Structure 1
């Protein structure tokens, strides 16, 4: 299965939804001030190394990546994208903050609204022969893409707007490093 996954990744047309690298311990106090990194959990030293390694692995496997990289407005997701893809523009998508909010006390209606909008995002096919990367957050258990480890990646095959999507695999950073040997 993994060898096929590497082949599919090289062919493009997929979405790589990755969780940011390991963050510092603490609680986010965002209050709409995303530019103020001191009020957020940021990447730890380990998280910075994970982000750099993530980008190196994608380049090593020659997986084509679409520019710009999409990231949540948190400092840790932007920094993850910048470290992983140092020569690629990062585009901040405020909607990805909504994914982060799924862990909060939302009503079922609010949660479903976010998940429907996210599904539409995952249904949009990237251009032929290239993959789109989204750096975001994990999901609550059994919601959306589920729990994603730090720098873990969910490989998604979009079927087109309104047509749904298919999850081809979930990779930890370690899985990504040994894609051809599994």
Structure 2
């Protein structure tokens, strides 16, 4: 990421779509969103990643609109809470729909979800702020594509009906490297 982008991010107007931290191995079984024992949860590394993500955003002076949005899965909620604090997270059931893109859906259902995702990503954040979403990766060719653990896609919304632009895809390491040039920014 270049210094100009960091300057722009510090002025707000972007969406940070971030995949949750590293989760335990396995599968969600008999999924119950009220019971974390039925889900894959954050590993110790995933917890560290989430805390570090929040520290980086604060250090870089990235203005955030609170509450941030998280998928109802325990691993996404915990990632969000560790990054920005428990009281700064709002669970949004829509991100379950987006997670369903990885499943076997009819073409109509897939298109309905993708259309709604498009409209969400077109919404401009509050002036001077950035929106943050903590959710999941996408299957190849759907949504924003494959995203690794704690990777962030920076999106510039163009407004309702005008689309959005993917500006960059940054790993946690990429974000941390911004700190190296932080003190030289205007």
TM-score tier, shorter chain, comes to: over 0.9
Say which SS state the counterpart of residue 102 (structure 1) adopts.
helix
Q: Is the 8 A contact 2:67 2:89 kept in 1?
A: yes
TM normalised by structure 2 equals: 0.93
Structure 2 unmatched runs, 5+: 182-186
Matched with 1:20 is 20
Matched with 2:102 is 103
Is 1:147 equivalent to 2:146 in the alignment?
yes
More helix by share: 2
CA–CA separation in structure 2 for the residues paired with 1:151 and 1:30: 25
Matched with 2:47 is 48
CA–CA separation in structure 1 for the residues paired with 2:58 and 2:108: 40
For residues 30 and 71 of structure 1, do their structure 2 counterparts lie closer, same or farther at Cα, with a shift above 3 Å needed?
Answer: farther
RMSD of the TM alignment (CA)?
1.4
Aligned residues: 181
Structure 1 residue 179: deviation in Å?
2.3
Is 1:6 equivalent to 2:6 in the alignment?
yes
Structure 1 residue 88: deviation in Å?
4.4
Matched with 1:168 is 167
Q: Is the 8 A contact 2:95 2:135 kept in 1?
A: yes
Structure 1 residue 29: deviation in Å?
2.3
Matched with 1:73 is 72
For residues 161 and 49 of structure 1, do their structure 2 counterparts lie closer, same or farther at Cα, with a shift above 3 Å needed?
Answer: same
CA–CA separation in structure 1 for the residues paired with 2:87 and 2:167: 25
In the TM superposition, what whole-angstrom CA distance separates every residue of 1:121-175 from its partner, at most 9, and x where no partner exists? 0011111110000000000112110001100000001111111001110000000
Q: Is the 8 A contact 2:59 2:179 kept in 1?
A: no
Following TM superposition, where does structure 1 have runs of at least 4 consecutive aligned residues deviating by more than 4 angstroms?
none
